[in-house]
Each structure stands twice: as structure tokens, then as C-alpha cells.
Amino acid sequence: MNFEYNEDQLNIKEMAKNFAETELMPYASEWDQNEIFPVETLKKAAELGLAAIYVNENYGGSGLSRLDAAICFEELSRGCVSTAAYISIHNMVTWMIDAHGSDHVKERFIKKLSTMEMMSSYCLTEPGSGSDAVALKTKATKKGNSHYVLNGSKSFISGGPTSDIFAVMCRTGEEGASGVSCILVEKGTKGLSFGKQEKKMGWNSQHTSMVNFDNCEISIDNLVGNEGDGFKIAMKGLDGGRVNIAACSLGGARAALEASMSYSAERKQFGKSLDKFQVTQFKLADMATELEASRLMVLRAACALDTADKQATKLCAMAKRYATDVCSEICNMALQIHGGYGYLKDFPLERLVRDLRVHQILEGTNEIMRVIISRHLKAN
């Protein structure tokens, strides 16, 4: 067991770090406060191969591992958690097409997704089915042998009207998981519409809205996998998505720890800097320890995906549950160290607290992670 990154991984880490520090970090506050979706910056990320990290090189992907991706997302989110998280979602959709799509679908979409000429959204959650994803009602009915007619709505969709392709989980068969399929809906499809841009607590550099389907006619060629494969595809996508979001939490928490170390060394109270007080030293020590423990869990889960470990789903759920809970608390502790200044938008702490909070909810709430873990414990 080797805990050191190899030379390629160190180069990947350095590339993502440099991009985060030059293209994300200087603008993250502005994007957050003005709710700017930085499309051109995302396309710059794509030029570095960050839009299709673990996608086959034959179709324009980078051909890297899930472990490589986790390393990237930690570095990117250190610059801007919200923007890094959207890149994670886009990667998840691109991977789903690469892993399960027909050659025709791969040829049509992956190259454009890998350059972010096309931006993507993952559409699973509905107004009436959040954690109970298998209860989704969006329905696709066959029209002859050439098209589906799609009706329904999806909620909390990152990308919203900015995206060009939507991976939609919909019902093509009976109730239950086996009746769900994955269909790609392209922007401009008649009957496709969007709700208002949601006003959110965090993740403000990516737009979020409802996505509505009103008798949308979709070519049967846009089916990913076979009919009835959709729920399995969605869950496999979420295993990787959970690792990516956990890695994004690592980056945000690391930024919070670094800011706290710098601030506590400069800020003086009662005649000495804050980092000379044992209470501050203990907080920083706890933050660093929890961050390191979280990173080990995230990298372990990523490796499990790379090796197709039978425990991968459990390990991904564990990493997501632990890292997102702990890293959110690290950011909260960092804000406390900053005192009143941490509450100001002039400092990054309040944004980090807001951005990391949603990681405990999306990609399956942390309560659902506990359900998944307990089921796997019983199975073993």
C-alpha cells in the first residue's frame, strides 16, 4: 500500500493547483456574489482535459483514473468549490455516456462534451422524489420505432438553461427500478423548458433550475444503454459523483484551514498572535487531522472504483458521508477562528461554509449514505 502520489499524479495535482490559483481563486467571490456562471473559464478547464477526466481517450477523454480525478477536484475546489462541483457533475454525465452509450451516441456527444462546446446536466431528482429516486414519475412513451415522447419535470438541476445536453432518468416501463431508462435530451428540443433560476444559499457560480418536458420528442438513438438500465446507470454515476463531491469538500476545507493558519498568525489579541493560544492550536490540530482522515477515505473509495472492488458502493458512501460532514465542520471552525471577520464577504470563510453545506445533501443525503452503508454491512 503506497500513500505517495506517483510522478504523473504529482503533475496532475500541480496542473489543477495552478489552474485553481490563476483562473478560479481570484474570481470566486465575484462569481458567488453576482451569481455568474463562468462558462469561458469552464472551457479553459476543458482545454486541460478536466471535462472528461476518466473518459476513453478514443472519444476525446483524458483516460485518467478516479484517483486522478479526486486529486484534481481537491485542487480545483480549493480555488472555487461551486465551479469545481459543476465540473464534477459534467464529468459524471460524460462518463455515463462513455461507459454505457452506443458507439453512435459516443461519437455524437463525447468530443463536444470533452471540450465543453456542449455543457451537461444530470437529471434525476423530481419535485416529488428526492431521496426516493426510484419513485420518479417523468415518463417516456414510445412513438413508433423511432422516438420517445417525454413528459415530466426535474428539480434542482445544476446547469439549468445554460446546459446543452440533459441526461434524464425517466420511466419507460413498470414501477420500480427496472422500469427506469436514461435518455439524452438536447437543448432546443420542442417542449423543453426551464423554471426560474433558483436563489440558493451557496453554489452560486452555477445556475440551478427546474427542467420541464412537455411532449418532447426524442430520437430512440438518444437512449443510453438499454431500456430499464437507467437506474443502474444513475447509481453507478452517483458512486463516482459521491467521491468527486467528497474531494470537493477536501479542497474547500483545505482552503479554510490555510486561511485560518495565516489569519491566526497575523491577528493579535491580548498582546500575542492567535496561533500562540493553545485553544487555537488545538482547533488547527483537529482541523488538520480531520482533513487528513477525510482525504484517506476519499482516496480509498476512488481506488475501489478504479479496481472495481465489490465494496466500492459502500466505500463511496462512507467517504461521502464522512468527508462532507467533517469538512463542513472544518469550515465552520475556521469561521469561528476568524471571528467577526469570518462573517464578512471580504473573507472567503462565509462562502466556504455556504458552499460546503450542500454537499451533505446532494448526491444522496448523508442520511441515505447511512442507509446504503448499513445495507452493505448486513449483506456481508
Q: What is the C-alpha to C-alpha distance for residues 215 and 218, in angstroms, rounded to an integer?
A: 9
Identify the CA nearest to 175 among candidates 128, 109, 228: 228
CB-side exposure of 305: number of CA atoms within 13 Å? 28
* 330 neighbors 256 (Cβ within 8 angstroms): yes
Q: What is the C-alpha to C-alpha distance for residues 372 and 137, in angstroms, rounded to an integer?
A: 23
Q: Which DSSP symbol is given to 293? A: H
Q: What is the C-alpha to C-alpha distance for residues 297 and 249, in angstroms, rounded to an integer?
A: 12
For residue 217, what is the enclosing H or E element?
Answer: strand 208-219
Q: What is the C-alpha to C-alpha distance for residues 298 and 246, in angstroms, rounded to an integer?
A: 7
Catalytic residues: 363
Per-residue HEC secondary structure of 321-375 comes to HHHHHHHHHHHHHHHHHHHHHHHCCCCCHHHHHHHHHHHHCCCCCHHHHHHHHHH
The one-letter code for the residue type at 106 is K
Q: What is the C-alpha to C-alpha distance for residues 110 and 60, in angstroms, rounded to an integer?
A: 7
* 120 neighbors 86 (Cβ within 8 angstroms): no
- Angstrom CA distances, 227 to 138, 169, 236, stand at 15, 11, 16
Identify the CA nearest to 211 among candidates 160, 275, 163: 160
Q: What is the C-alpha to C-alpha distance for residues 46 and 51, in angstroms, rounded to an integer?
A: 5
Residue in the structure block whose three cell numbers are 496532475: 12
Identify the CA nearest to 74 among candidates 133, 15, 2: 15
The one-letter code for the residue type at 195 is G
Q: Which DSSP symbol is given to 203? A: -
